[in-house]
């Protein structure tokens, strides 16, 4: 079984790379996708491509539209959505992506430190599993694809 896996959420740590390299080391066939993780490009894409805006609200609006093409396409294609919440920031888009995935019936794995557990209880409840480390997510991916626990 080959999987399409969307990696949603936090863009300020290397969790995506750790999952991808772990999956590669385990020899898993996975097609990973993600939002654009270059914060500057993600914020500026609307005005950079489609013309400047005087109001920051509309600058954000234009950018969010272009980003949504990428994220919604990737979530719709995904077999599994991993949603990461980091230590900082509001990360409302991560929670939005989780809700979007849940309504589409996509299985979700949440990834976050234990101190977020109470605040994330609704989202953890909608998930099939809650992990604390990227390596645990790799373990889940291996099990889902190969049916085996790591040796």
Q: Which of residues 21-80 bind its own copies (CB under 8 A)?
A: 33, 36-38, 41, 44-46, 48-50, 54-58, 60-74, 79-80
Q: Does 119 bind its own copies (CB under 8 A)?
A: yes
Of the candidate spans 13-21, 22-30, 126-134, the one that interacts with its own copies by CB under 8 A turns out to be: 126-134
Residue position matching structure tokens 């373990």: 139
Contacting residues for 7 by C-beta, under 8 A, at least 6 apart? 15, 16, 19, 32, 33, 34, 82, 84
- Measured between alpha carbons, how far is 48 from 71 in angstroms, rounded to an integer? 19
Of the candidate spans 10-18, 19-27, 138-146, the one that interacts with its own copies by CB under 8 A turns out to be: 138-146
The nearest distance, CB 21 to its own copies, in angstroms, is 18
List alpha helices for 11-133, DSSP H. Answer: 15-25, 39-50, 56-77, 92-103, 121-126
Nearer to its own copies, 25 or 103 (CB): 103
């Amino acid at each position: 079984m080959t999987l399409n896996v969307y990696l949603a959420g936090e863009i300020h740590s290397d969790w995506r790379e750790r999952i991808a390299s772990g999956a590669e080391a385990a020899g898993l066939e996975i097609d990973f996708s993600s939002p654009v993780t270059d914060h500057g490009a993600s914020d500026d894409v609307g005005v950079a491509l489609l013309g400047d805006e005087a109001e920051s609200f509309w600058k954000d609006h234009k950018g969010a539209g272009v980003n949504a093409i990428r994220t919604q396409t990737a979530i719709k294609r995904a077999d599994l959505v991993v949603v990461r919440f980091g230590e900082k920031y509001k990360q409302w888009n991560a929670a939005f992506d989780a809700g979007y995935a849940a309504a589409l019936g996509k299985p979700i794995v949440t990834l976050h430190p234990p101190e977020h557990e109470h605040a994330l209880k609704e989202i953890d409840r909608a998930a099939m599993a809650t992990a604390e480390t990227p390596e645990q997510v790799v373990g889940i991916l291996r099990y889902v694809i190969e049916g085996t626990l790591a040796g």
